[in-house]
Structure 1
Amino acid sequence: MTRIAHWVVLALAVAVFLLPFAVLLRDGIGADWSTVADLFSDKELMFTRSLVNSTVVAVLQTAGQVVLCSLAGYGLARVRYRHAPVVLYAVMATLMVPTAVTFVPSFVVVSSLGWLSDFRGLVVPGLFSALNVFLFRQFFLDFPVALEEAGRLDGLSRWGVYWRVVVPNATGFVAAIAVIDFIGSWNQFLWPLLIAQDSDTWTIQVALSSLLTAQNPRVTLLFAAAAVSILPIVLVFAVAQRYLVRGVTETGLTGQ
């Protein structure tokens, strides 16, 4: 009886979770597939260009965050020096600052550099994440030291140990962080809205907002665009699913 109750609760939770997506598909592309064709042929919306822009921004930001944050986290976990705690506390202190508070000074810096309506303005400010640094540090603290010592005995430098020993044995965790970063970058709205002042640099979220804020909101087209914009995230999750499972299991590695 308990098992049946668990399945009933799970089925209800799944139904509640999937209901908005079912409505989205029904009202967007369920009635008429020509809406999708209209979506890509609309010259004012520039939907294809927005998809490409979002893909470029999300891929670059994800790669940059994984590389920079993993290096910073590994350095904080393994490189012992006098001011390491101060650096860690300084990094963690940035998590206490609301993101909205940094928008104005970040916008001023980006504007002074001439990066408005430019991919550099969209990508560079999002290349670092204090939370990711902390997560990588915690992961590397539990990483087996014996593997690194074996690499050093084989003549590898600290960089060689990181690149040829640590990274290959942390692919699951790295993939999990990368998927989360990609989804976050794909869904960000406020920063691209500020920076992408030219429609040629609109990301998909800004393009969707243009449908909603128009004088005559095209709801059906908006639903179709939202449904299509979800597909890249679904594909990324489907491809990286097995790596996410490995990431969960690898967090149990110990060896210190």
Structure 2
Amino acid sequence: MVGPFLWMILTSLKTLGESQQVPPVIFPTVAQWKNYAEVLTTIPMLQFYWNTIITTILKVVGQVFLCSLAAYAFARIEFPGRNILFMLFLSVLMVPGQVFLIPQFLIMKDLGWLNTLTALIVPGLFSAFGTFLLRQFFMSLPKELEEAAKLDGCNHFQIYWRIMLPLAKPGLIALAIFVTLWSWNDLMWPLIVNTSPDKLTLSAGLASLQGQHQTNYPILMAGSVLAIWPMILVFVFMQKHFVEGISLSGSK
């Protein structure tokens, strides 16, 4: 698992000739740290970072809030057709995401959102997976807490906000990590809806470094290292919550 990451780092420090040499050279003769400076001047890396951070934060906030609302309704509120509607939600997970690309693109075009960050953010504000994950948490909580809150005069939203959300913290963190990874690494959708360089995310911006006839692999790998290190730090520092969230969501 670590091998590709090590090869990426080593390639980012090679010259173009060393990166294409056969048989391959594992270690660079002289570390080419200038590759990292060159990638910052070749593409607007800071703009890509800003676009990625903004879209990721808004997607995380949107999914944590909206998915938790829907999950609470499916887990705790009795209404006609609840189970059937939830099965329809789950059916979305059985359809490949590529099927939705053309309809979503046409919707973005009709709304005039092409080449905007809005087109990257809005479709990712809600997910069936996030609803399913948090529903499992809410279903595992004792009903006595909800009954006691109702006796104290709390309505459904107050129960959701003051009682359920604090107890579902591991699930919320796990969902936030999932959404962060998905949003940060998303490639296909940003390439489809955005063509303007100042609206691209990191993954789509790095794809522009791949040439039609020749690719400067050291520059591409240097950009990949700069793009990937925030996600590595997120997973390293949040892996406890990540594992806890996955294990508890399957306990019901």
Common topology (TM > 0.5): yes
For 2:74, the equivalent position in structure 1 comes to 76
For 1:116, the equivalent position in structure 2 comes to 114
**8 A contact 2:134–2:249 mirrored in 1:** no
Q: Deviations over 1:153-195 (max 9, x none)?
A: 3332211111111111111111011101110111111100001
For 2:231, the equivalent position in structure 1 comes to 233
Query: What is the percentage of aligned positions where both structures have the same residue?
Result: 34
**8 A contact 1:172–1:247 mirrored in 2:** yes
| Superposition TM-score, scaled by structure 2 size | 0.87
Q: CA deviation at 1:95?
A: 1.9
For 1:19, the equivalent position in structure 2 comes to 3
**CA separation of 1:75/1:142 partners in 2, compared to 1, >3 Å: closer, same or farther?**
same
Q: Deviations over 1:68-99 (max 9, x none)?
A: 11111110111101121221122122222221
Structure 2 residue matching 1:57: 3-state secondary structure: helix
**8 A contact 2:133–2:171 mirrored in 1:** no
**8 A contact 1:183–1:233 mirrored in 2:** yes
1:40 partner letter:
L
State how far apart, in whole Å, the 2-side matches of 1:69 and 1:29 are.
Answer: 43
For 1:205, the equivalent position in structure 2 comes to 203
Q: What is the aligned counterpart of 1:62 among 56, 60, 63?
A: 60
For 2:171, the equivalent position in structure 1 comes to 173
Q: CA deviation at 1:245?
A: 4.7
Gaps of 5+ in 2: 15-30
Q: CA deviation at 1:152?
A: 2.5
For 1:137, the equivalent position in structure 2 comes to 135
| Superposition TM-score, scaled by structure 1 size | 0.86
Say yes or no: does 1:32 pair with 2:32.
Answer: yes
For 1:163, the equivalent position in structure 2 comes to 161
Q: CA deviation at 1:65?
A: 1.2
2:226 partner letter:
V
Query: CA RMSD of the aligned region, Å?
Result: 1.9
**8 A contact 2:60–2:176 mirrored in 1:** yes
State how far apart, in whole Å, the 2-side matches of 1:213 and 1:97 are.
Answer: 33
Q: CA deviation at 1:59?
A: 1.3
Would you tell me which structure has more helix in proportion to its own residues? 1
**CA separation of 1:127/1:210 partners in 2, compared to 1, >3 Å: closer, same or farther?**
same
State how far apart, in whole Å, the 2-side matches of 1:177 and 1:62 are.
Answer: 8
Q: Which moved more, 1:131-140 or 1:159-168?
A: 131-140
State how far apart, in whole Å, the 1-side matches of 2:230 and 2:99 are.
Answer: 30
**CA separation of 1:192/1:154 partners in 2, compared to 1, >3 Å: closer, same or farther?**
same
State how far apart, in whole Å, the 2-side matches of 1:58 and 1:166 are.
Answer: 25
**8 A contact 1:172–1:245 mirrored in 2:** no
State how far apart, in whole Å, the 1-side matches of 2:248 and 2:77 are.
Answer: 22
1:35 partner letter:
N
State how far apart, in whole Å, the 1-side matches of 2:84 and 2:247 are.
Answer: 31
Q: CA deviation at 1:246?
A: 4.2
State how far apart, in whole Å, the 1-side matches of 2:44 and 2:173 are.
Answer: 31
Q: CA deviation at 1:46?
A: 0.8
1:108 partner letter:
L
Structure 1 residue matching 2:208: 3-state secondary structure: helix
Q: CA deviation at 1:248?
A: 5.0
State how far apart, in whole Å, the 2-side matches of 1:84 and 1:152 are.
Answer: 21
